[in-house]
Amino acid sequence: MVGVTVRIGELAAEAGVSVRALRYYEEQGLITAGRSDSGQRHYRSPAIERVKLIQMLYEAGLSSKTIVELLPCVEAQVNTPESRARLAAERARIDEQIAGLTRTRDRLDAVIELSENPASGCVKI
């Protein structure tokens, strides 16, 4: 389906993102659009999978700058030492965030447990 194009609203619906997000992705250089004579954005149908991949990378905590750098390697399935190192660094960063959130949750659990003890002086609301 090389010649098939979709409008911005169709792409947004198919990929499960907002039109605003697609405009942002375009500003960041993550996707490109052709223009009709009337100025409407048109995307090639493979853009749907690209947008889903971009969403997945954002959900993993990567910045748009990192995604721009890694996207060509990910799409081409090229595995360079640099791209592997970058992905490993991002994974380590996420691991640190998870560890920090786990510590915060554990502290919150301790506070909840203390507040449930009548002797703590905490008043239930």
- pLDDT value of residue 83: 79
d(CA 26, CA 33): 8
Q: In the predicted model, is pLDDT for residue 77 greater than 90?
A: no
Q: What pTM did the predictor assign?
A: 0.67
Sequence ranges of the domains in the chain = 1-62, 79-125
In whole angstroms, what is the distance from residue 47 CA to residue 31 CA?
7
pLDDT digits (tens, 9 = 90+) for 14-23: 999 999 999 9
Each residue's pLDDT tens digit, 25-43: 999 989 988 888 888 888 9
CATH code for 1-62? 1.10.1660.10
When computed from its CA atoms, the radius of gyration of the chain, rounded to whole angstroms, is 22
Mean pLDDT of the chain, nearest integer: 86
pLDDT interval class at 123 (50, 70, 90): low
